[in-house]
Amino acid sequence: MAMTDVLSAEDIKKAVGAFSAAESFNHKKFFEMVGLKKKSPEDVKKVFHILDKDKSGFIEEDELKFVLKGFTPDGRDLSDKETKALLAAGDKDGDGKIGADEFATLVAES
């Protein structure tokens, strides 16, 4: 499954482009711009599974670094600071990774 099966290519391009500058990533604005906030819980879970590259059932810190590339190949890597901020926002149980339910909560809180 591709990200464009769930979200519009135009929305993805705009959202990723809006955060192309280093240290500019804001997950709340990004999820809203990309259209994820308006999607059903099932679609949010589909996006989660696309971002879970190693299919572990979690998005770990090393996968979060490449979250924009998960939406489009020409997305930039997040900085360590941005990655840690995203992990801190999403990791509700403190296990160092984001599960599907935590991801859904993160998107809903945006």
Q: What are the residues whose beta carbons fall under 8 Å from the beta carbon of 46, sequence distance 6 or more?
A: 1, 5, 6
The whole-angstrom separation of Cα 68 and Cα 86 is 12
Please indicate if the annotation marks 52 as binding a ligand.
yes
Domains and CATH numbers, the chain: 8-109 (1.10.238.10)
Q: Does residue 102 surpass a pLDDT of 90?
A: yes
Of all residues in the chain, what percent carry a pLDDT higher than 90? Answer: 97
What average pLDDT does this structure show over 2-11? 97
Please indicate if the annotation marks 32 as binding a ligand.
no
46-91 pLDDT per residue, tens: 999 999 999 999 999 999 999 999 999 999 999 999 999 999 999 9
Q: What is the pLDDT of residue 11?
A: 98
Q: What is the pLDDT of residue 18?
A: 97
Q: What is the pTM of this model?
A: 0.95
Q: Does residue 110 surpass a pLDDT of 90?
A: no
Please indicate if the annotation marks 5 as binding a ligand.
no
Computed over every residue of the chain, the mean pLDDT equals: 97
What average pLDDT does this structure show over 39-45? 97
Please indicate if the annotation marks 91 as binding a ligand.
yes
Q: Does residue 23 surpass a pLDDT of 90?
A: yes
**Torsion angles phi and psi, residue 60, rounded to 5:** -85, 170
Please indicate if the annotation marks 63 as binding a ligand.
yes
Which helix (H) or strand (E) segment is 81 a member of?
helix 80-90
Asked if 98 contacts 58 with a C-beta cutoff of 8 angstroms, the reply is yes
Please indicate if the annotation marks 97 as binding a ligand.
yes
Please indicate if the annotation marks 95 as binding a ligand.
yes
Please indicate if the annotation marks 43 as binding a ligand.
no
